[in-house]
Amino acid sequence: MPEDDDPIEIPRTLIAALRGGSGKTVVSIGIIAALCDSGKKVVPFKKGPDYIDAGWLAMAAGWPCYNLDTFMADDSLVCQSFLTHTRSHSSCKNDIAVIEGNRGLYDGLDVDGTTSTASLAKLLNTPVILCLDVTKSTRTMAAVVLGCLHFDPAVQIKAVILNRVAGLRHETILRKSIETHCGIPVIGAIPKLKSRDFPERHMGLIPTPEHGWANASISTAATVVKSHVNLDEVLRIAKTAENRPFSCTGHHVKTPSFHFNEKTESLNQFPEQFPDPPVRIGVIRDSAFQFYYPDNLEALEKAGAILTDISPLTDASLPEIDALYIGGGFPETHAKELAANESFRNRVKAAADSGLPIYAECGGLMYLGESLVLDQTYPMTGVLPIVFGFSSKKPQGHGYTIAGVDRPNPFYPVGAVLKGHEFHYSKVLEWRGRDEDMVFAMEKGRGILNGRDGISVKNVFATYTHIHALGVPRWAETLVGLARKVGRYKV
């Protein structure tokens, strides 16, 4: 962490809204892309655990988007992440960091707004631009903005962008009302965009790997922003944060959110006894499995892994690897193709049976099951004795999770507590395993079944809970250490 007299150099701003679905992601994408088109270098961040928005922001910026989540990682680690990634990118005065918030500005886990977008803005000492969905409203929006300004004066709301404006008369009334009664400028007024430019699925934008014309959509957003948002004002607001310290500046890094009781051993169960040679970890990454935090992949590389991308949609077999990491995604939209690749499915099953370390989250958990029942039954790998169905109406699990480890397994010590999140529409139709095969007791969240999560069989670990490497120290070292201990799976 920086010292008290060590300023945070990069200009920065945070795009917030009154609620989810207000269009702040499209506005953020447009601002980032428009600034890049003007020659700026933009470092994108996403507040919260969301993968899909982060993928769009990364594509708009041409740079990885890192998640800043004060539930899954402590404040000082979030500050450190922001500082590290802005400084590693920074090379000239054209740099700017743009953070997209999540949900409403003040929405958090409790009445104090813990983990809210506002709390992150204060933590990073960052000015806020408020994106307002002004559909079927005029002067009332001034009252709403005024309430936001007074609700927590420590939050630096510096400007407003009107979104989904009906026309010039609508814009004029809104602009005059807000600037007169609130004393902050309206720096943009964006008309309603057509849904075909940014189609949605489930609870957010469609993932970019599934959206063949993503670049065209981003270009559309950039064009709209250039025409309807004062980018000079965006830059001016961002520069007001230049050289301001964070609120956690000078503090020591606190104990991460993953914690142990007094009897718990370190997560690093395979320390220095297995020295230097790198291990090769396969990462199943394609349009079916795309939800990976850059921090997780980078943590594996820092721990000594060489990462190899693999696709069960196009590859016939596994390469020679020491472990396999299967992230989340939407396997249900690719069920036919996944089922058709029988050769690959059989290889994964054989590798698991041979003891290959496999770590799977959400969509990866589904792929390791016996089958996925949609319009028909699609066979999966059969590594785990579980059958999944799907609900298209509402999520079966959605939100932050807290999991206590209460049974032995190769990845997490008994007594540990993990903070993560879950988001899935799939549901368990049949489970033929044993209760003791699930090692997580869910203190918060639904998990797989009966308040439990984390199936551990041989060296396979599969869970609905997504973890973030910042909040789970030694996760990467443990997976790499286990891979090094077990040895290579050969085709």
Provide the pLDDT for residue 146.
97
Q: What are phi and psi of 470, to 5 degrees?
A: -65, -35
Weakest mean pLDDT among 198-207, 263-272, 477-486: 263-272
Residue 88 lies in a domain: yes
315 vs 61: CA distance, rounded Å = 30
Residue 303 lies in a domain: yes
Mean predicted confidence (pLDDT) in 465-481: 93
227 and 290 assigned to the same domain: no
Q: Is residue 87 very low, low, confident or very high in pLDDT (cuts 50, 70, 90)?
A: confident
* Identity at 101, one-letter amino acid code: G
Does the pLDDT of residue 285 top 50, yes or no? yes
CA of residue 43 relative to chain centroid, distance: 15
- The domain total for the chain is 2
Provide the pLDDT for residue 3.
44
CATH code of the domain containing 154? 3.40.50.300
Query: Which of 37, 30, 36 lies closest to 15 in space, CA to CA?
Result: 30
- Over residues 230-259, the pLDDT tens digits come to 999 999 999 998 877 777 654 333 433 444
133 and 231 assigned to the same domain: yes
133 and 233 assigned to the same domain: yes
Does the pLDDT of residue 270 top 50, yes or no? no
- Over residues 426-456, the pLDDT tens digits come to 899 999 998 889 999 999 999 999 999 999 9
283 and 235 assigned to the same domain: no
116 vs 399: CA distance, rounded Å = 14
Residue 78 lies in a domain: yes
230 and 322 assigned to the same domain: no
In degrees to the nearest 10, what's the CA dihedral of 120, 32, 21, 68? -30
Provide the pLDDT for residue 192.
84
Does the pLDDT of residue 167 top 70, yes or no? yes
Tell me, yes or no, if 362 is annotated catalytic. Answer: yes
- Over residues 397-410, the pLDDT tens digits come to 789 999 999 999 99
- What is the overall mean pLDDT for the chain? 88
List the Cα angle 73/266/352 in 5-degree steps. 90
* Set 65, 148, 182, 362: catalytic member: 362
Q: Is residue 199 very low, low, confident or very high in pLDDT (cuts 50, 70, 90)?
A: low
Residue 265 lies in a domain: no
Q: What are phi and psi of 13, to 5 degrees?
A: -150, 160
Does the pLDDT of residue 107 top 80, yes or no? yes
84 and 132 assigned to the same domain: yes
204 and 293 assigned to the same domain: no
Does the pLDDT of residue 88 top 80, yes or no? no
114 and 199 assigned to the same domain: yes
Residue 266 lies in a domain: no
CATH code of the domain containing 370? 3.40.50.880
Residue 491 lies in a domain: no
Q: Is 475 exposed, middle or buried (0-12, 13-18, 19+ CB in 10 A)?
A: buried
Residue 84 lies in a domain: yes
Domain that holds residue 460: 279-486
486 vs 460: CA distance, rounded Å = 12
User: Max alpha carbon distance in the chain (Å)?
Assistant: 72
Percentage of residues in the chain with pLDDT exceeding 70? 86
Residue 247 lies in a domain: no
